[in-house]
Structures are given as structure tokens and as C-alpha cells.
């Protein structure tokens, strides 16, 4: 779903450079099997922010088959590290194959299980945390992920405009919609964060930890 005027999303995708063989195959597999991935426009944004930060430690909350993981692993460069999380061992195995083929498997740790549990088990601060877990978990992410960022680090979250449903009164009782609304308020009301929502694809919240 695009929140842009009709045709503009197609235009943004049309001007993107072609992806390499690994990313292209992942995109094709995701389309064929209806696997949720962030897509190439958001992938490029994640990589760009990681490079702007000089990020060396990145934690992903919800990684599926590792599409965003690959963009981030390339962005952190040699010596950088990305922590992948997914509840499915099959997804982790598939991601591992793609990452190995792309030559970045040595800079990724594959963690299987609940993403926030794996975050709690992993020591240290992070330069960037990317959040794409099940939506009802977003408020817990706001509470648990922000303290794990270094000052100046970023929490980037996908799907914060939720296909436009946030503005629909008919969704007042929907658990996922309520969780995303609460999450967005938590980010903007947190004095330790500087937050902007970018209406790319399904909406990205970019929250910078200022102290």
C-alpha cells in the first residue's frame, strides 16, 4: 500500500537502481510466497541511515527471510555487526543462505525466538535498532528498545501509518491499530527522542535518541 498520490509510488520504484541477483531473488520469493519484506525503497533508506550514523552494531526486531538484514549488513561494512531475529527457524535458515551467498554472513548473528527476549539477552548498546515485529508488540518495543540505543542512535520502525487505518473510527477496537497509535504517541511524547514519521511505503518512524 502507498500513502502517496496514485502513480507516485510506482515512480519511486521505477527510478531505483536495479538490485543485485541476491536481493532480486529475495524480492521475487517474497512476492511469490507473500512474505512481508520492506522492499527496495525502504531497504535503501535503512542502509543510508546506517551509513550516515557510521553504525557498527545494529539490532533487527523481526527479520523474516533477512531482506532488510542484507541491506543493513552491507551498510555496516567489515567490522560491523547485525543481529537478526525471527520466530521461525526456517526463516533464519533461508536468511542464512542468502547472507552467505551475498558474502556478509560473518557480520550477522541469527537469533531465533521472540525478538524482544533476544534483545534482552544481547549485551551492549546499539547504533540502530530496526523494528518490524508483530504490531501489538510495538508499545513494548518503545519501552525496551530506546534504552538500548546509544545517544545519537536511531530506532527506525516500519508500518507506523498502517495502511491508512489509523484514521478510521471503525478500527477503534482493533488491537494492532491501537498498538500502533499508542506507539506513535510514545515516540513523540518521549523527551529523549527526536521523532519524524516519513510517509514512505507504509510509513516509517525515525526516532533519534538525543540523550
Instruction: Quick: pLDDT tens for 85-130.
Output: 999 999 999 999 999 999 999 999 999 999 999 999 999 999 999 9
Listed residue (131, 79, 70) closest to 104, CA to CA: 70
- The answer to whether the Cα torsion of 14, 18, 24, 27 is positive or negative is negative
Q: What's the CA gap between 52 and 54, in Å, rounded?
A: 6
Is the pLDDT reported for residue 139 higher than 70? yes
Residues 6+ apart with CB under 8 A from 39: 13, 27, 201
Q: What is the pTM of this model?
A: 0.94
Task: Find, among 87, 48, 53, 91, the residue nearest to 200 by Cα.
Answer: 48
pLDDT in tens, 60-84: 999 999 999 999 999 999 999 999 9
Mean pLDDT calculated for residue range 5-18 = 86
The model's confidence at residue 8, banded by pLDDT at 50, 70 and 90, is confident
The C-alpha cell 522492499 sits at: 39
The answer on pLDDT for 2 being more than 60 is no
Q: Is 69 helix (H, G, I), strand (E, B) or coil?
A: helix
Domain ranges within the chain, ordered by starting residue: 8-209
Mapped onto helix, strand or coil, the DSSP state of residue 117 is: helix
Is pLDDT at 1 greater than 60 in this prediction? no
Superfamily of domain 8-209: Vaccinia Virus protein VP39 (3.40.50.150)
Amino acid at each position: 500500500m502507498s500513502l502517496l498520490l496514485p502513480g507516485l509510488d510506482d515512480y519511486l520504484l521505477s527510478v531505483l537502481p536495479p538490485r543485485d541477483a541476491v536481493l532480486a531473488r529475495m524480492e521475487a520469493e517474497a512476492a511469490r510466497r507473500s512474505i512481508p519484506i520492506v522492499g527496495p525503497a525502504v531497504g535503501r533508506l535503512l542502509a543510508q541511515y546506517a551509513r550516515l550514523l557510521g553504525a557498527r552494531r545494529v539490532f533487527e526486531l523481526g527479520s523474516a527471510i533477512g531482506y532488510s538484514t542484507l541491506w543493513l549488513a552491507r551498510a555496516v561494512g567489515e567490522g560491523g555487526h547485525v543481529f537478526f531475529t525471527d520466530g521461525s527457524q526456517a526463516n533464519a535458515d533461508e536468511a542464512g543462505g542468502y547472507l552467505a551467498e551475498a558474502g556478509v554472513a560473518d557480520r550477522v548473528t541469527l537469533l531465533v525466538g521472540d525478538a524482544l527476549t533476544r534483545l534482552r539477552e544481547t549485551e551492549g548498546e546499539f547504533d540502530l535498532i530496526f523494528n518490524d515485529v508483530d504490531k501489538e508488540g510495538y508499545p513494548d518495543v518503545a519501552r525496551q528498545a530506546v534504552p538500548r540505543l546509544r545517544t545519537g542512535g536511531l530506532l527506525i520502525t516500519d508500518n507506523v501509518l498502517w495502511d491508512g487505518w489509523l484514521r478510521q473510527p471503525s478500527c477503534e477496537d482493533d488491537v494492532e491499530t491501537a498498538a500502533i497509535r499508542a506507539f506513535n504517541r510514545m515516540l513523540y511524547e518521549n523527551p529523549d527522542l527526536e521523532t519524524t514519521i516519513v510517509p514512505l511505503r507504509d510509513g516509517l518512524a525515525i526516532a533519534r535518541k538525543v540523550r
